Structure 1
């Protein structure tokens, strides 16, 4: 053959260019049993077989299905083109969800630039592009925060509503997204603090608070309004809901969380440490509970996990210590779980 050597001779090349045979294009597939010159060959797509329609003999297997991918599992007849492509996003309803990216490599002909210019004319409006950017940032930040997809979907719905109503016009995009994530965490009963959201999104606490207040008033998301509608207290804003993560980060036993939650509830009933932030109350209650149960934990570690200063934790602890008889149950003392003598005294 001519390609058997890198540089063949001219005579050999001429010989190789003259084919001695060619394919027979008149080859037909017939059944060896029926031997009908006009066979009825049926393609069974379900099993991938070629079957003779006269005698039922299988002539071939593993036949590739070349039909359209469109299929439907509904009761109605006909194909369902919605099965082709990626799953539709209900949040992007009414928008083109299929994007085409044109490569820059065109061999220096300039075709790519012309195609990109033509594609830019047919792109979505500026508001839709901003919406796509916001959705991408919400998903990225929720992944960094290890939040489930449910919270990401709630935040996207909230952002879309606020964008349609023009509620936060002029506010930075990062601040609006941060407020939506904060509210979504509360709605999904996995609350995060302002400090945690600010550290994640690098948005100032003041700007985040302004956006949060605007959304809260616009959509009636305040804890008081929700509690009046359902006749229950809002469980997502209490410090006892922060204990799960704080105790896990501090590697504390399970009984610390239950006792600490009872102490916080009792303190709320007696009006102890009212007006303090949930983060401060949670940190002070954990410090108080650890000393009460004889599980010493450095206040420095509690301060780092809760994100509050050591002085704030000591202040809440002082308030709890002064009213310790109202907070500690007698049954804890009887079964030996708690010992008030282990509490560190404080100056009045």
Structure 2
């Protein structure tokens, strides 16, 4: 672009155009091809300039990494809020074959304590995500569990506990806060940690997070999972109708109000209520089938059901009987 003198200084001459010397079309059709670094005429293809500099923003699209997404991402991965530091680290490659400089530098970098800490956290976060996905827990529960794990895993009071038990306890804590509680026995089935160890670690973690300014809301973590919370999940796994599911919740609520099965676990109460509700609405299901999906033995279900059968009139909604949807005579005798 030419320049003209304007008083003591210079200014660009906007009347001067860059056109193709071959075809000389006006207005010019100049195309900047940043992939090749060339500036070419869009009409005849003549290369007008080479080695041009791409002055656009340094946006890159990771379409292969996000399964076809077209949203651009800034150069580098997104910052992980659960890791410490700026995370703008340099990765040293091993180097070309036959050289030792790159290998030595990579070895020194791998010995960094910060890298080891972040690597351990990333491995733990991956396992927490796998367990939460196995229980179909929402993303908010996963994030809360990761935050609780990060704040508590290296606390002096928890150093004697295994990392598996800390991860399991973090999931229990996060699920209770989100009102989608899971029992210690359910978490133990995936984490290979005994329910007793998860319970002990959970109590320690709750105390640690309460005594620190962790920013985690501990409201809701004190109360355990009740039978009503388990009812819909158990009935869904058993393929029961919504009518039986609602009846099971009502029976479980009446059991708690009457104090009939005090001392039993929520899983036992839920299983016994399901056994009674399926019989009332003629969707009979064996105790063995219910035991397979609830984790409660068939003998425990039948023992608890005997106590419910003795006070069955108190547990059944009279409207079920008056409308003919349910019938007390369908209940198996003990």
Report the TM range for the smaller structure's normalisation: 0.7 to 0.9
Counterpart contact for 2:279–2:330, Cα < 8 Å: yes
Could you tell me how far 1:313 is from its partner in structure 2? 0.7
2:147 aligned residue (157, 167, 174): 157
1:114 aligned residue (104, 126, 138): 104
Give the alignment's TM-score, normalised by structure 1. 0.71
Worse-matched range after superposition: 161-170 or 314-323 = 161-170
C-alpha distance 113-157 of structure 1, shift in aligned 2 (>3 A): same
Could you tell me how far 1:98 is from its partner in structure 2? 4.8
Give the alignment's TM-score, normalised by structure 2. 0.74
Question: Are residues 1:168 and 2:158 paired?
Answer: yes
C-alpha distance 144-326 of structure 1, shift in aligned 2 (>3 A): closer
Q: Please list, as runs of the form range in 1=range in 2, the aligned pairs for 1:241-256 lying within 5 A after superposition.
A: 241-256=229-244
Give the secondary structure class of the aligned counterpart of 2:333. coil
Question: Are residues 1:91 and 2:68 paired?
Answer: no
Could you tell me how far 1:84 is from its partner in structure 2? 2.0
Counterpart contact for 2:183–2:225, Cα < 8 Å: no
C-alpha distance 31-191 of structure 1, shift in aligned 2 (>3 A): farther
Q: Deviations over 1:108-149 (max 9, x none)?
A: 444553233232245625444432332232223333444332
2:299 aligned residue (300, 305, 311): 311
Question: Are residues 1:130 and 2:102 paired?
Answer: no
C-alpha distance 41-257 of structure 1, shift in aligned 2 (>3 A): closer
Question: Residue 5 of structure 2 corresponds to which residue in structure 1?
Answer: none
C-alpha root-mean-square deviation of aligned residues, in Å?
3.8
Question: Residue 201 of structure 1 corresponds to which residue in structure 2?
Answer: 191
Query: CA separation in 1, counterparts of 2:138 and 2:88?
Result: 23
Question: Residue 180 of structure 1 corresponds to which residue in structure 2?
Answer: 170
Query: CA separation in 2, counterparts of 1:319 and 1:306?
Result: 19
Q: Which runs of 5+ in 2 are unaligned?
A: 1-18, 60-72, 212-217
Counterpart contact for 2:244–2:277, Cα < 8 Å: yes
Query: What is the count of residue pairs matched by the alignment?
Result: 291
Worse-matched range after superposition: 247-256 or 86-95 = 86-95
Counterpart contact for 1:281–1:316, Cα < 8 Å: yes
Question: Residue 8 of structure 1 corresponds to which residue in structure 2?
Answer: none
Question: Residue 273 of structure 1 corresponds to which residue in structure 2?
Answer: 261
Query: CA separation in 2, counterparts of 1:303 and 1:175?
Result: 26
Query: CA separation in 1, counterparts of 2:163 and 2:189?
Result: 16
Query: CA separation in 2, counterparts of 1:156 and 1:210?
Result: 19
Q: Which runs of 5+ in 1 are unaligned?
A: 1-27, 72-81
Query: CA separation in 2, counterparts of 1:135 and 1:253?
Result: 37
Counterpart contact for 1:280–1:308, Cα < 8 Å: yes
Structure with the larger strand share? 2
